[in-house]
Amino acid sequence: MALIINDDCTACDACKPVCPNEAISEGSPIYVIDPARCTECVGAHDDPQCIDVCPADCIIPDPNHVESREELQAKYEMLHG
C-alpha cells in the first residue's frame, strides 16, 4: 500500500530526498506522496526511508491504496525498468 503524510507534517523536507521513487513533493502546507509512485521502498530498501527519517512520525499507510508486496515490487520495476 502507498503511504500518506498526515496533518502532523512540519514540512521539514527530511522525507523528500530519501525517496527512491521521487514520490514525495511539497504540498501546501504539508508534503504529499504520489500513490502511483510510492512502493514503500519495496525494490530499493528493506523499510520505507521516509518513515525512518521523519521527525514528526506523520507518515502512515494509506488505506485507500492497499497493495501487496508483489504489486509494490512490480510498480518499482515499472518505475525503474
**pLDDT of the residue at 26:** 97
* Cis amide bond preceding 55, omega within 30: no
Cβ proximity of 18 and 59 under 8 Å? no
Q: What are the mean pLDDT values of the chain's consecutive 10-residue runs (81 residues total)? A: 96 98 97 98 98 98 97 98 89
* In the chain, domain spans: 3-80
Considering the domain 3-80 in this protein, what is its CATH number?
3.30.70.20
Cβ proximity of 17 and 51 under 8 Å? no
C-alpha dist (Å) from residue 9 to 72, 75, 79:
24, 26, 26
